Amino acid sequence: MNISDKIVLFDGVCNLCNGFVRFIIRRDQNARISFAPIQSPFGQSLYKKFILPAENIDSVIYIVDNKHYLRSSAVLHILKELRGGWGLFYGLIIIPRFIRDFFYNLIARRRYIFFGKRETCMVPLPEIQNRFLS
């Protein structure tokens, strides 16, 4: 398997997180970003490699060139990579992280209530299977 230098770790049972992954896939025209559920063995190995605390399971994690971004910073760095003008949102990076993360955390803590939860992690369709690391 060819591992991208751009990886999104996400909560594989969260409907919001799975929707965000599908959103990225549709707009990442050159398939530069790979994905791994946090719950997968590969996701757990990256957790250990970057020494991430267990409470970060409520955060999307974006790994680029051996650096990692959490919460709102991860989302903004991901949007910067996508086609269709989504990169313009990266300008919000000038807002102090504690303010951005306050709003991110409001949604993240309630994501199962607002968007629901799956019993198991998402199973990718065959045509995008190679973008998922396990």
pLDDT score of 2 more than 50: no
In order of 26, 40, 62, 92, the CA distances from 77 in angstroms are 17, 23, 8, 10
pTM summary value: 0.88
Q: What is the pLDDT of residues 74-89, one digit of tens each?
A: 999 999 999 889 999 9
Rounded distance between C-alpha atoms, residue 28 and residue 78, angstroms: 10
Q: What is the pLDDT of residues 8-31, one digit of tens each?
A: 999 888 889 989 999 999 999 889
Rounded distance between C-alpha atoms, residue 9 and residue 29, angstroms: 19
One-letter identity of residue 66: N
Q: What is the pLDDT of residues 86-114, one digit of tens each?
A: 999 999 999 999 999 999 999 988 888 88
Could you please state the CATH topology (level 3) that the domain comprising 6-120 is classified under.
Glutaredoxin (3.40.30)
Please choose, from the candidates 132, 3, 11, the residue with its C-alpha nearest in 3D space to the C-alpha of residue 74: 11
- Who's near 75: CB < 8 A, 6+ residues apart? 60, 62, 104
Q: What is the pLDDT of residues 38-72, one digit of tens each?
A: 888 888 888 888 877 665 577 899 999 889 999 99
pLDDT score of 120 more than 70: no
